[in-house]
């Protein structure tokens, strides 16, 4: 089950964290994976690890917020593989702050990656998918797209847009062979979390990590591999009847709202 043999998958933000876990699982399930990341070195490291394990993967440097960069990356994937069956829009950035603590340039920065980036990559992928009979898109939203989270004004705004884009793509292409869903994780233990703690709580990283973990009803953060498992299911033929849906994967965080 959940086999992806013969599929070509593009994973944005594939150089680390959730994106790397998704790409690694896809390759293990038989897909050929093209990792897109602004950090070319990180993407190549993930791709090399996949290849060393016997999988098929390539790395492409790409700024998802830049129209030309996205066009070039997808043209390269199309030239190399002649198709795109799966797109995972995982690339994203965060910002901590209320509306008063969010400068216009902060809002623009998050919009450009988290909203414009999803739009540009989905648009490029859909052009190829329609030519070849269809495909699957999974977008990375967040529980912040469903509930209010303190000090996440800009981040919540962008993830709300991702949720709405998901539904719009799903309804527009449901009869043309393209499925589109999104997932809504709570806090996941990634290098971003470790960097945030080191920057804001030097010397108290372990204490704050435990506090952030305990804040979720299940008592811990999610793991990138757990997110990857849900994404793999949604991109597989076993999920062929699913489109336009948002899946919580949050350790019970939305149960208390």
Measured distance CA(44)–CA(28) in Å, rounded? 17
The one catalytic residue in 111, 119, 155, 201 is 155
Per the annotation, the verdict on 111 as an active-site residue is no
Residue from 225, 154, 119 nearest 249 by CA: 225
Q: What's 12's DSSP letter?
A: E
Measured distance CA(180)–CA(137) in Å, rounded? 5
- Give the up-direction half-sphere exposure of residue 247: CA atoms within 13 A in the CB hemisphere: 20
Measured distance CA(63)–CA(99) in Å, rounded? 26
Q: Rounded to whole angstroms, what are the CA distances from 256 to 13, 57, 108, 156?
A: 31, 40, 32, 18
Q: 67 and 42 in contact (C-beta within 8 Å)?
A: no
| Cβ-based burial of 229 (10 A; exposed 0-12, middle 13-18, buried ≥19) | middle
Q: Beta-carbon neighbour count of residue 246 at 10 Å? A: 17
Q: Beta-carbon neighbour count of residue 13 at 10 Å? A: 29
Give me the phi and psi of 138, to 5 degrees please.
Answer: -125, 125
Measured distance CA(218)–CA(214) in Å, rounded? 8
Catalytically active residues, by annotation: 155
């Amino acid at each position: 089950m959940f086999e992806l043999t013969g599929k070509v998958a593009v994973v944005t933000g594939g150089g680390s964290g959730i994106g790397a876990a998704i790409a690694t699982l896809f390759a293990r399930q038989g897909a050929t994976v093209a990792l897109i990341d602004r950090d070319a070195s990180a993407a190549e490291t993930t791709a090399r690890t996949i290849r060393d394990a016997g999988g098929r993967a390539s790395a492409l440097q790409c700024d998802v917020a830049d129209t030309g960069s996205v066009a070039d990356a997808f043209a390269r994937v199309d030239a190399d593989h002649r198709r795109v069956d799966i797109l995972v829009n995982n690339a994203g950035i965060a910002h901590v702050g209320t509306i008063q603590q969010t400068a216009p340039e902060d809002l623009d920065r998050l919009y450009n990656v988290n909203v414009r980036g999803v739009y540009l990559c989905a648009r490029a992928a859909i052009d190829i998918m329609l030519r070849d009979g269809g495909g699957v898109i999974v977008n990375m939203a967040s529980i912040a797209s469903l509930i209010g989270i303190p000090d996440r004004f800009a981040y919540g705004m962008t993830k709300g847009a991702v949720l709405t884009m998901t539904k719009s793509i799903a309804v527009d292409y449901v009869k043309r062979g393209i499925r589109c869903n999104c997932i809504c994780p709570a806090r996941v233990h990634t290098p971003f979390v470790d960097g945030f703690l080191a920057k804001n709580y030097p010397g108290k990283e372990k204490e704050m990590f435990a506090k952030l973990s305990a804040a979720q009803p299940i008592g811990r953060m999610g793991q990138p591999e757990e997110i990857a498992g849900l994404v793999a299911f949604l991109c597989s033929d076993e999920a062929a009847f699913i489109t336009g849906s948002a899946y919580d994967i949050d350790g019970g965080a939305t149960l208390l709202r």
